[in-house]
Structure 1
Amino acid sequence: MSTSQTDIDQTQAKLGPIWLQPGVSKSHCLALFFGSFFTIGILTVVSAATTYILWENLNIPSSEWGTITGNLAFWTEITQILLFGAIGVAADKVGRRPIYVAGMLAFALGYGLYPFAESLEQLTLFRVIYAAGLACSTGMLATVAADYPQNAIRGKMIAIIGVLNGLGVVTLNAVYGRLPSIFVDAGVDSVTAGRYALFVVVGICLLVALVLRLGLKPGAPVSHEESKSSIELARAGFKQAKNPRIALAYASAFVARSDVVILGTFLMAWGVSTGQAMGLTVAEATQKGTIIFVITQSSALVFSPIIGFFMDKVNRITGVTFCMFLGGIGFTLPALIDNPLESAAIPIFIVMGIGQISAFLGGTILIGQEAPKSERGSVVGMFNVFGAVGILVATGIGGRMFDQIGPAAPFVLIGMANFLLVFAGLYVRKKAPGFVPEAEQRLVNKVFGSR
């Protein structure tokens, strides 16, 4: 479904630089932006929350955190793999809004139970509830973000979503990272402080659910007469993989979603365990670990508009390939870090953030362009399944590499995977590039000769 990146229907609604699809209003888009600010931020809080609970509630030594966080991530991804396909089909049948709202409610339940875990088994169970919310909310964020913009400005739309994601991640993690210390200073014990901090997150989840229920576009994406059967939709994700560009998008999800979770899971654990080794208290180490995570997300935030503009100006296979190259650079550089809390590591964390957001946005923009409207929920669902499988592999291997080789090892693993995908992108760019802007084609003809 590769379409022109130049044609715009100017009879439709416009919000800032974003021209919207027929039937999509400015208020629908504003509700999406509100959800975009909070969804990924809410998702990433679990990393700091898990570290805090392992240390303060369950008294587990930091030498075991890598394996435990890897195992928790494993069950998170298994849950998502089981749910994403059904969620995509349901979104194409009943609409995006109820699934997105259900995701926020599941987030609220999972976070509400999380600080009451008295064993790893209970923590895992509560993590599965969280994972159900993650599957619904992130699946619908990607699908609605693909639904609303016209294709010519899809890169700008996803860039705005990326900026809001980044702002939300930075804001929520910065706030959450300080909350336990604030509550401890107010006179409560550290375990109770951790619970109060997550109660704040629960309140945010409920607020977001309400805004999404009131603001997102209701109904299914196509009429009942145009709607396909559940069986056809379930098959759509596999069928569409025959399109080389969708196949590349699936592969990019396998790698790029690993980028995001490896960064959130192991960067925080690296920072907190280093802080503990330096003699910091649990609250101080959590705050230090949060700071380095916020640095990566801040650089991602600044770079998002650049990637969005770039992806609208070039062939999107070219764009994805370049994005994965940046991801490869960003995730191999941590091999040079000795102490992540030292100021000398900051430039590397900045480049990591740029690599992470580039790989993430590139594949998201490509799948939004290529997925057919009537099957978009199902195709994006399969895109998310590939992402979940990638996370499952990366965290399963990465957790053990973190403990047995060193904290930089999981990042280098993902960096190499990004570089491998660059070669796949070059192949698809040659064989099935889709729409190629005239300026880029002239440059290709000049460098390599006209076809």
Structure 2
Amino acid sequence: MLGFTATRTQVATYLFGVALFSISFLVFLNSSISFVITQRIGQAHNVGDAVGTLGFADELVALVACPAWGLLSDRVGVRSVAVIGYMIVGVSLWVFMAAKNVYPQLLLARLLFSVGATATATMVTAILPTMTVVQVVQIVQDPRTPRRRVNGTSHALAPSISSELTITPARFQSRSPPRDDNDDTVVRKDTAASTSHLAGLVGMFTGCGALVALLIFLPLPTRFGQGGAEPADAVADAFYVVGAIAIVVALGCFFGLRRLPGEEEKSWERFWRTEQNKASDTPQSRQPILSYPRLFLESVRLGYQSPTIGLGYVGGFVARASSVAISLFIPLFTNTYFLKTGQCRATDPSDPADIKNSCPQAYKLAAMLTGISQLIALLSAPIFGYLSARYRKYNLPLMLAAVAGVAGYSAFGSLASPDPASKDGSGGIFAIVALLGISQIGAIVCSLALLGRGINDDDSRKSQLHTTDDNVPTNGHLSAGTTPPRSPAMTPQSEEAPLLGTNYSGPASSSGPESHTHLKGSIAGTYSLLGGFGILLLTKAGGALFDSSGPGAPFYMMAAFNALLLVVGVLVAVRDAYSGARGEQRGREVR
């Protein structure tokens, strides 16, 4: 059973709202922007250049906006940022229809859209840890009181039917609830597995979001045109409808993501609050308030200090770059081959979409190869979620994805022909693009799972919960960052001593110095920032190498990126194995 601490409504809103639509509106806009330029604005020349400039400006804004939204969410909450993001997306789609020229009106509309889209994309990562926040309860329970529930879990005994005068220490011990290593804490089930499973679902839902755009959003102009509308009006109607859907999603997030675990302290009152290092005296306000620069620096520092988060960063870098390699360079590789062999006439460089008319064979083959890759990725997402939960000890699923990337991209870069029907072609190309899809989704799912586990500090907590020193258990998830004060002994030393203590400590804060839930937005922003760098690096450097060194160069770059991910993963696994061995040795010395 998945150990979600969020409610079913919150989980459903996260999957069907934030994750599903985080990419849908971007896919719709990227596929429709050329129609806005030609049908709405009426520009028939330099369409490709305009589309490329708008896309490049979008990426530049994303590099700044992703970490900014992450930092903001650590002050005001992930729910607020998600709602604002989808509201901006909806409004910007309407603004597109008011543009009368490409520069500056359409450019400004695209920048506004990018601001909103980066908020929603960043919150996909930032909200994940809130679904499986680990909470620890320290409790000393009187067996004579009714059963008490904390966080939905029973931690007490049924009322005693014996006289208080006849309850002996031995009888009391026999009725005491089971505890781990005589600990005074009752802990929720380990949620690291739930984080990994949920990451797999997130990968699947984001893939389904692209299908929503392709199957529902993109055909809207054609359907409106069949109803008698002019092409320009049909495009406008489609943008108005999709924009309205974005507003509806924002409202769904507003109501469905209320009272997320660990977000109780976030509010707009903290937006301009000065830095506060010490927690207040009230138990409801235990999270430190850091300045925005410190939030960002802390998220970067964690990439070096926390192997789990650092490996997640590298995985995100490779995953985002992989998406460009599949969607951009596979069609470019295919088109170049058909042009080189004389099977197609040269396309209009000002209009990349002209490939549909000038070289339909190349277009169909490219669509088939990328479609197979994305289909395999969609089907593999929940599998990687399961594997990441089942075999997370040494991050084996992520290394499997990296190996698939090294093999798949190296093989694709060495191909003489992408066409299996040609004399130089090979039927193995379908297996190769399947490896690319496996590599991409594996990096996405496993990196998200790593960040979720690293933010909640699940892995170290799991090892610490069963570590004792002189029979004093340590605790990996405490609000003050230290082992809580021991409650009075529940079993008296003599028959005359008072049997029961009266102390009861309620639930500890769901975040503490050992966990990094107060930095989850900043960490998500840094994760998206590194992904943006991966896209820009592969787009610019890979494109230049494509022209100078050959069509296989971008794929060899991706093979190198995956090799880097594999090396980092191996180093982290070796470190974990060494730390585990030292921990076992210290445990034997203590015993």
After TM superposition, the score normalised by the length of structure 1 is: 0.78
Are residues 179 and 243 of structure 1, via their aligned partners in 2, closer, same or farther at CA, if it must alter by over 3 Å? same
The answer as to whether partners of 1:110 and 1:126 remain within 8 angstroms in 2 is yes
Query: 1:295 Cα shift?
Result: 4.2
Query: 1:161 Cα shift?
Result: 1.5
Question: Please, which moves more after superposition, 130-139 or 190-199?
Answer: 190-199
Structure 1 unmatched runs, 5+: 1-16, 437-451
| 1:230 aligned counterpart, secondary structure | coil
Q: What pairs with 1:6-405 in structure 2 (closer than 5 Å)? A: 17-21=1-5, 24-35=6-17, 36-53=19-36, 57-60=42-45, 64=48, 71-114=53-96, 116=99, 118-119=101-102, 121-149=104-132, 150-218=191-259, 221=263, 223=265, 225-231=285-291, 232-241=294-303, 242-264=305-327, 272-278=353-359, 294-314=371-391, 315=393, 317-332=395-410, 334-335=412-413, 336=415, 338=418, 348-371=432-455, 372-398=516-542
After TM superposition, the score normalised by the length of structure 2 is: 0.61
The answer as to whether partners of 1:299 and 1:354 remain within 8 angstroms in 2 is yes
Q: In terms of Rg, which structure is larger?
A: 2
Name the CA distance, whole Å, in 2 between partners of 1:70 and 1:330.
28
Q: Please give the per-residue CA displacement for 1:198-236, whole angstroms capped at 9, x wherever unaligned.
A: 333212211211111110133662646222223243332
Name the CA distance, whole Å, in 2 between partners of 1:340 and 1:98.
50
| 2:285 aligned counterpart, secondary structure | coil
Relative contact order, higher structure (CA 8 A, sep 6+):
1
Letter in 2 for 1:320: L
Name the CA distance, whole Å, in 2 between partners of 1:130 and 1:392.
19
Q: Please give the per-residue CA displacement for 1:256-309, whole angstroms capped at 9, x wherever unaligned.
A: 1222345445667888443131379xxxx8x99877655443222111111111
Name the CA distance, whole Å, in 2 between partners of 1:55 and 1:413.
35
The answer as to whether partners of 2:199 and 2:446 remain within 8 angstroms in 1 is no
| 2:447 aligned counterpart, secondary structure | helix
| 2:395 aligned counterpart, secondary structure | helix
Question: Please, which moves more after superposition, 371-380 or 178-187?
Answer: 178-187
Name the CA distance, whole Å, in 2 between partners of 1:171 and 1:340.
30
The answer as to whether partners of 1:88 and 1:377 remain within 8 angstroms in 2 is yes
- Higher percent of residues as helix: 1
The answer as to whether partners of 1:163 and 1:301 remain within 8 angstroms in 2 is yes
Name the CA distance, whole Å, in 2 between partners of 1:55 and 1:402.
29
Structure 2 unmatched runs, 5+: 133-190, 266-283, 336-352, 456-515, 581-591
Are residues 273 and 96 of structure 1, via their aligned partners in 2, closer, same or farther at CA, if it must alter by over 3 Å? same
Query: 1:19 Cα shift?
Result: 1.5
Q: Please give the per-residue CA displacement for 1:312-340, whole angstroms capped at 9, x wherever unaligned.
A: 12225333222222234444555445469
Are residues 55 and 415 of structure 1, via their aligned partners in 2, closer, same or farther at CA, if it must alter by over 3 Å? farther
Identity %: 23
Q: Please give the per-residue CA displacement for 1:56-99, whole angstroms capped at 9, x wherever unaligned.
A: 5533468x56xx65543432232222223332222122211110
Name the CA distance, whole Å, in 2 between partners of 1:18 and 1:107.
32
Q: CA RMSD in A?
A: 3.6
Letter in 1 for 2:359: M
Letter in 2 for 1:277: S
| 2:219 aligned counterpart, secondary structure | helix
Name the CA distance, whole Å, in 1 between partners of 2:199 and 2:312.
15
Question: Please, which moves more after superposition, 297-306 or 223-232?
Answer: 223-232
| 2:125 aligned counterpart, secondary structure | helix
Are residues 61 and 87 of structure 1, via their aligned partners in 2, closer, same or farther at CA, if it must alter by over 3 Å? closer
Letter in 1 for 2:290: S
Name the CA distance, whole Å, in 2 between partners of 1:180 and 1:42.
15
Are residues 416 and 153 of structure 1, via their aligned partners in 2, closer, same or farther at CA, if it must alter by over 3 Å? same
- The structure 1 residue matched to 2:574, chosen from 408, 415, 430, is 430
Query: 1:120 Cα shift?
Result: 5.3
Are residues 367 and 427 of structure 1, via their aligned partners in 2, closer, same or farther at CA, if it must alter by over 3 Å? same
The answer as to whether partners of 1:76 and 1:131 remain within 8 angstroms in 2 is yes
The answer as to whether partners of 1:173 and 1:290 remain within 8 angstroms in 2 is no
The answer as to whether partners of 2:373 and 2:436 remain within 8 angstroms in 1 is yes
Letter in 2 for 1:197: A
Name the CA distance, whole Å, in 1 between partners of 2:331 and 2:27.
10
Question: Please, which moves more after superposition, 299-308 or 328-337?
Answer: 328-337
Aligned pair count reads 412
Name the CA distance, whole Å, in 1 between partners of 2:117 and 2:236.
20
Letter in 2 for 1:202: G
| 2:218 aligned counterpart, secondary structure | helix
| 2:23 aligned counterpart, secondary structure | helix
